[in-house]
Amino acid sequence: MLFIAFYTLVTLIVGAGVYLFGDDLLRDQMEDRIEAESAYLFVAYERGGVPLLQTVLQARDDRGVNALGYLLVDRDGHRIGGELRTTPPAPGWSEISFTDGNDDLHTARALTHVLSDGSRLTVAVEMAPSEELLHITIGILVSGMLIVLAGGILGTILVTRFMRGRLDSMNRTAHAIIAGDMTQRVPEDGADDEFRQLAVTFNRMLDKNSDLIASLRQVSSGIAHDLRTPISRLRRRLENARNLSEGGQDNTHEIEASIGQTDDILALFASLLRIAEVESGALREYFGPVDLSDTAGLIGEIYTPVAEDCGRELTIAVEPGLSIRGDRELILQALINLLENAFRHTPPGTTVNLRLARHGDKAALTVSDDGPGVPESQLPSLTSRFSRGSRHRASPGYGLGLNSVKAIALAHEADLTIRNGSPGLVVRLDFALI
């Protein structure tokens, strides 16, 4: 309704502008015509005085020249020429009323001059065209307003139905999700308009929420599963320590072992909190330039002897001068996790490769090995929390290493790729260069 009112007002303003412009133009044309006619009559007066002027007026009245009206009166106001039926007007421009042969009243624009002998000459043009323009303009305005009102009401009905239809689908989806059906999504059909863009954004938000809920359920299940064993061990050790204490035996070893078990549990929760902090994105405001070449080279130097101690070989190939925007400590942590995973889950004699190279506007950081790799069916779940694969269930750790790497990659807006290298496993991180 506000749009209808706005366009109705616009129609009124435009119509009024057209009328005022047209009326002013017509007046100018009438006045130009009156002045030209008056100039012609002055020439006749100068040549032959009033008698010649009377003859010229009679001739022009008889022919009805261009619908002009004339009136010539003497100094006493008596008509001496012309057929214009009106009271002699005052000198200068004026609007006069006159009657025709049927005594109908009309309006005219008139110019009156006082001649040298005291007589006055009036030349007038009827204002019917201006009045007709006013009537036409009013008709156009009324018609235009009716069209605008009808079109506005019809448009309002159509637009309202369209918007309600699109919004109702979103509303139904929201109610279904509130009721617990997290699989519902807003339809993304129709034109590529703002509603479809909103539906796409809405569905992306729902997908993200579903992922978060699934992650929360996985964390809860993983914690319940993975903490059962260390807590059970801790309980048995504490029972042993109590029994040793009651028997008067030294229980220092059991107490120290219990403390170690407690430290492992605390380390698990610290890792979970660290991953949550990285995933929240709160650390991005502290990001700055990081020399990725220097960071990768440093880790390579540190872990070369570690690889030798555990019977593996570490090869390093780092392209110099590659820098990114990020957090150096997080990058170090990601590299440590990748290398320790490679050492932990490959047999002795395996070669582990650390590579850093430029690929277009990206810096590709790769950790690969020639070990047994991972079954294809397990690749998608490797970055999930507490995921260790069926081959490594008995190995130490809680399956948070690659999940931490994934969180660090997301924080740096880097692409994480995990695939089998035939042989071995290849983990690649692509960072945007600065």
Mean pLDDT of 85-112: 88
> Are 230 and 265 within 8 A, CB to CB?
yes
Tokens 């709160």 belong to which residue?
Answer: 282
pLDDT, averaged across the chain: 84
pLDDT digits (tens, 9 = 90+) for 211-244: 777 766 666 666 666 667 777 777 787 888 777 7
Whether the pLDDT of residue 391 is over 70: the answer is no
Q: Return the sign of the alpha-carbon dihedral for residues 256, 257, 258, 263.
A: positive
H helix intervals, 179-251: 194-246
CB 251 within 8 A of CB 241: yes
Instruction: Read off the tokens for 221.
Output: 């299940």
Please tell me the CATH code under which domain 284-432 is placed.
3.30.565.10
| Whether this model's pTM surpasses 0.85 | no
Cβ atoms of 38 and 123 within 8 Å: the answer is: yes
Which tens digit of pLDDT belongs to each residue from 402-411? 888 998 898 8
Domains of the chain, residue spans: 2-134, 194-279, 284-432
Say what the pLDDT of residue 428 is. Answer: 96
Tell me the DSSP string of 320-349: TT-EEEE-HHHHHHHHHHHHHHHHHTS-TT
Strand order in the sheet with 362-369: 313-318, 351-359, 362-369, 425-432, 415-420
The first and second tokens of residue 180, run together, are 């617990």
Q: How far is CA 388 from CA 93, 241, 266, in A?
A: 103, 32, 20
Q: What contacts 363, CB < 8 A, 6 or more positions away?
A: 292, 322, 324, 356, 357, 430, 431, 432, 433
* Best CA proximity match to 254, nearest among 231, 268, 233, 230: 233
Question: Per residue in 323-375, pLDDT tens?
Answer: 999 989 889 989 999 999 899 889 999 999 999 999 999 999 999 999 988 88
In contact, 339 and 303? CB cutoff 8 Å? yes
For domain 2-134, the CATH class is: alpha beta
pLDDT at 72 over 50: yes
Q: Do domains 2-134 and 284-432 have the same CATH topology?
A: no
How do beta strands 68-73 and 313-318 pair?
Answer: unpaired
